[in-house]
Amino acid sequence: MERKAAIPGAPGAAALILGIETSCDETACAVLDGSGAIRAEKLASQIADHAPFGGVVPEIAARAHLDILPAMVGAALREAGVSAGNLAAIAATAGPGLIGGLIVGANFAKGMAIATGAPFFAINHLEAHALTARLPGLDVSVPEFPYLLLLVSGGHTALIAVEGVGRYCRLGTTLDDAAGEAFDKVAKLLGLPYPGGPALERLAAEGDAARFALPRPMLGRPGCDFSFSGLKTAVAQRVAATPPGALSRSFAADLAASFQRAVVEAMADRLGRALAMMPGCTAVVVAGGVAANGAIRSALANVAARDGRSLIAPPLRLCTDNAVMVAWAAIERMRAGSPSDPLAAPCRPRWMLNCAA
């Protein structure tokens, strides 16, 4: 089949874009057409590989990406009914994330770009999360610019003003642990399995959130920054003060509930301050794995509603790390007239979305 030329500017519906995501412990690829319709979507989790260690081991993650990515991309292309030579663009997460995984995904994408002549897009993982809610066809209203993004995941916690494609202003970020990291570490202290966030939420549903007086990090302070390290330490001190041996179910449940409430109240306070800084924002978008937590989502919805805003949360599979958002970010950039990236574009383990010029 004759290869279609790379489509400059806004891609038409016939243009097919491949996205690759390997920033942490999930290998993913997806093919979208130029309108944003998902033609193929693949994802492989590494939870079983990392569970014995209680967290992500970077070297194991990188090797797992290397093992599975070529076959996964081939399967996605077959499902989408397209050959590599007919792709209009190839996009890969280039940061932030674990450097080994980023190199695997980005270099694979660059190799495909060299072989096919398709333009390459180095995607910022945070930008991809920021734009996911604008993907057509989701069971949510599409937010108009400017809107407020709360990104809450294992690696990132930030409040970002999304003013347009390529135009972002970071209003606040975590000063230490990300929210998801704090959930996982507290879950481990309570003897829960990895990944700890979902297990902690289930346990908290059994507990008394008023039993333990835990700190509310940054509550009432100026600005929109977060901090969870002190809260995690307070939980560790409570656990250390108990007799040796396994914690009782009631104690663990009450401590889990108290911890979760502290996180909820801190996040609600930070979101309220961010909304006060963005009087013209159209909506609040929440993304990241922690967005699956029901108590957090409910509290954020209440804060947004009090400010006259709606809370928009993409489907859970698109809140966590995925390749659909990577391909969609490339489409948004193409529509905005942004150029593709050189093949020398580096991978960046740290790459924040800062204030646009």
At 170 the three-state DSSP class reads: strand
Q: Is 137 annotated as ligand-binding? A: no
Neighbours of 354 (CB within 10 A): 10
The reply to whether 197 sits in an annotated binding site is: yes
Burial class (CB in 10 A: 0-12, 13-18, 19+), 71: exposed
Task: Give the torsion sign (CA, 227, 350, 25, 314).
Answer: positive
- Is 65 annotated to bind a ligand? Reply is no
155 is in an annotated binding site: yes
Q: Give the separation between CA 311 and CA 76, rounded to whole angstroms.
A: 32
Which H/E stretch holds residue 265? helix 249-277
SS3 180: helix
* Number of other CB atoms surrounding residue 248 within 10 Å: 11
151 among annotated binding-site residues: yes
- Element counts in the chain: helices (H) and strands (E): 11, 10
Known binding residue 214? Answer is: no
- What phi and psi, each to the nearest 5 degrees, are found at residue 224? -125, 20
Annotated binding residue 74: no
Q: Return the residue matching tokens 């999304």.
A: 162
How many whole angstroms separate alpha carbon 66 and alpha carbon 62? 6
CB crowding 77-92: b at 16 or more within 10 Å, else e: beebebebebbbbbbb
Q: How far is CA 351 from the centre of its chain?
A: 14
201 carries a ligand binding annotation: yes
Residue type at 267 in one-letter notation? M
């659909």: which residue's tokens? 324
Q: Strands, DSSP E only, in the chain?
A: 16-21, 26-33, 38-45, 89-95, 120-124, 147-152, 157-164, 167-173, 284-287, 311-312
Q: Does 125 belong to an annotated binding site?
A: yes
The SS3 call for residue 174 is: strand
Report the binding-site residues. Answer: 125, 129, 151-155, 184, 197, 201, 293, 321
Report the binding-site residues for substrate. Answer: 151-155, 184, 197, 201, 293
Report the binding-site residues for Fe cation. Answer: 125, 129, 321
